[in-house]
């Protein structure tokens, strides 16, 4: 019998989006129905239909953001969006200019409202990791890279 592998400890994580925006559509539709009630009969079926359609669209948007904009750093892997980079490939945090470095995650640029964190890789290239809260991410990267050296 082989022992179960211990799961890698999560050092830093950002979900990409929360689920609370899914509540916007029902709230907006309830307010709209309330305003409509002040002026006459309420078209209940129409408001329910609009709420269902807008809720479905918002749920799709949230799900996509949770897939494309999520960040997770474990002891073994840095996951940026849909791209995974083994921590063993990270040589360190880059100190100099990172002009022209490609961002991780598969996009042409880092996502909006995120900060760039340049990383040196083991092959000499520089890539851009990113996070909404860069200082905790830098601290987590530093601690993971320190434990790699030990």
Tell me which DSSP letter residue 122 carries. T
Please tell me whether residues 82 and 134 are part of one structural domain. yes
Residue 128 lies in a domain: yes
Q: Does pTM surpass 0.85?
A: no
Number of compact structural domains in the chain:
2
Which residues contact residue 117 at a Cβ distance below 8 angstroms, ignoring those fewer than 6 apart? Answer: 93, 128, 129, 130, 131, 134, 137, 138, 141
Please tell me whether residues 130 and 88 are part of one structural domain. yes
Please tell me whether residues 64 and 75 are part of one structural domain. no
Range of the domain at 36: 10-68
pLDDT in tens, 77-132: 999 999 999 999 999 999 888 888 999 998 899 999 999 999 999 999 999 999 99
Residue 2 lies in a domain: no
């Amino acid at each position: 019998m082989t022992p179960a592998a211990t799961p890698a400890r999560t050092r830093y994580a950002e979900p990409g989006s929360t689920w609370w925006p899914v509540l916007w559509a029902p709230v907006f539709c309830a307010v709209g129905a309330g305003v409509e009630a002040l002026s006459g009969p309420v078209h209940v079926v129409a408001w329910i239909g609009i709420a269902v359609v807008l809720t479905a669209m918002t749920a799709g948007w949230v799900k996509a953001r949770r897939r494309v904009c999520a960040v997770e750093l474990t002891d073994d892997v840095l996951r940026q969006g849909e791209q995974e980079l083994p921590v063993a490939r990270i040589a360190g945090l880059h100190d100099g200019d990172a002009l022209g470095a490609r961002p991780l995650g598969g996009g042409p640029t880092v996502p909006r409202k995120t900060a760039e964190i340049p990383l040196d890789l083991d092959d000499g290239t520089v890539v851009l990791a990113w996070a909404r809260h860069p200082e905790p991410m830098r601290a987590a990267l530093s601690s993971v890279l320190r434990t790699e050296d030990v």
